[in-house]
Amino acid sequence: MKPNSALLKLIIRLLILIILFILIFIISTVLYSARYWPDIYNYVNANITIKRIPTLSEITVAEIEYTTEFTTEFDYVDSTTDAYEYFEVKDAYSKEKREVNIDFAGDYSEVPEKGVLVEYVFIDEPTTVNVGKVPDLIGDSEIGARDFKDVDFLDGHHRIVEELERYSRSKSDEESADLNVVSAWIVTVFVKNTTANGQFDYVCDGALISNQHVLTGARCTVHANATFKPDDVIVIVGKKSLQGSGGNEKAVRVTEIHRQDNFTIVNGKVLNELAVLKLDEIVYVNDDVQIANISTGELGDSDKSLTTAWAFSGELKSVYFEKVENGSCADGDLENVLCATYGNEVALCPSYGGLYAVKVENAWFLRGIRSGDPAERGICFIKRIDYTTLDNYLDWINQFLEK
């Protein structure tokens, strides 16, 4: 049976109308809800900090005035007391008034008595004899217990809490000081994106090793087995966030790129992964820009070691390594490669081309540069990363510095 063309056209038109109605409904709903978007954004990104909670002694009781409103005009008589205001109404009885039922607050004596113990007594004006003291409602003789071991226990508990808080504050301050030292060495490397209108994209980190040289990973300068052109690379010193700019940031162009002479990738094994970038101009040091401290001799046992990572918020964070060093590397025991591990509680991925810093005798030293392909950037499930140690490359590095 051949379908009726008129009926088919009618069905198609109805479907088109229904689709248009749904689209109009969705658009109108989105436009109508647009006024709530700022509130949703503020709720999601709320950053509320309670700086201080007022003490009980700072809480004041508001005074309440009871007034009676009449429909007639009245004159205000300036005769007040501490608690009430009086009004004299002209011809109040001869004027038509609105009926208002007024419930007067009763005296405290009308409140049913209950066996309630008053917990707090506020003294607004302490006497000169007992200044700042609140009289005890129950004397010591009325207290049945004579053993105050519980008080000692609470006192000891408070001391433990205070010690933990003090330790937490000192640890946080110490970590902040470590980050301030190491972050001043960090240089961010950006490469021009040929498919995004010439914009520069973040690729790697590096370390400032002189006023005009940056040390980074060799794979941070390579794409499709070809070294980047210097004109396509810029570095930024003093950067503290990938989401914004700071006062001491400075972008500098690169004029030369030198990969380590023996840099190779054979059967997935990467050797001698280092590169030096020469800058177009001299970088001057300040609070946020410092030259990395590279040891020229044997370092003793390190007190601690760390690297840095960019958090989801864009801020630079520190990642501390565990004490175990020189463990099994991803490619086996390779020469000039150091493997470092960090805890599972860390949700950050250390930067490619980033630094491996160690603290020895209250001084921080740059010991290695991260080895890795920045194209593999993503969620890091493996908590072990490889670094190229600098011990055997000092002569190679110094040849650029001497020039």
pLDDT of the chain, 403 residues: tens digit per residue:
555 778 888 899 899 999 999 999 999 888 887 777 777 766 666 555 545 555 545 544 444 444 444 444 444 444 444 444 444 444 444 545 455 454 444 443 444 454 444 443 444 444 444 444 444 444 544 444 444 444 444 455 555 555 655 655 566 888 999 999 999 999 999 999 877 677 899 999 999 999 999 999 999 998 877 889 999 999 999 999 998 887 889 999 999 999 999 999 888 788 999 999 999 999 999 999 999 999 877 777 778 999 999 998 899 999 999 875 544 555 555 778 888 889 888 888 999 999 999 999 889 999 999 999 998 877 787 788 899 999 899 999 999 998 7
Which two three-digit tokens encode residue 384? Answer: 């072990």
Expressed in angstroms, the distance from the first to the final Cα of the chain is 91
Provide the β-strand partners of residue 256: 278
Nearest to 64 by CA among 86, 84, 87: 84
Q: How many CB atoms lie within 10 A of CB 156?
A: 10
**Around 105, how many Cα atoms within 13 Å sit in the side-chain half-sphere?**
6
Phi, psi dihedral angles at 299 (to 5 degrees): -95, 140
The length of the chain is: 403
Phi, psi dihedral angles at 157 (to 5 degrees): -60, -45
Pick one of 2.40.10.120, 2.60.420.10, 1.10.10.10, 1.25.40.10 as the CATH number of 183-402: 2.40.10.120
Which residue bears the tokens 């409140």? 111
Which two three-digit tokens encode residue 328? Answer: 């099994």
Q: What is the pTM of this model?
A: 0.58
**Around 78, how many Cα atoms within 13 Å sit in the side-chain half-sphere?**
0
Q: What is the pLDDT of residues 279-292, one digit of tens each?
A: 999 999 999 999 99
Strand pairing class (222-223; 226-227): antiparallel
Distance CA 317, CA 337 (A): 24
Query: 304 in helix, strand or coil?
Result: strand
Q: What is the pLDDT of residues 76-95, one digit of tens each?
A: 444 444 444 444 444 444 54
Q: Which helix (DSSP H) or strand (DSSP E) does residue 165 occupy?
A: helix 149-183
Which two three-digit tokens encode residue 91? Answer: 């011809």
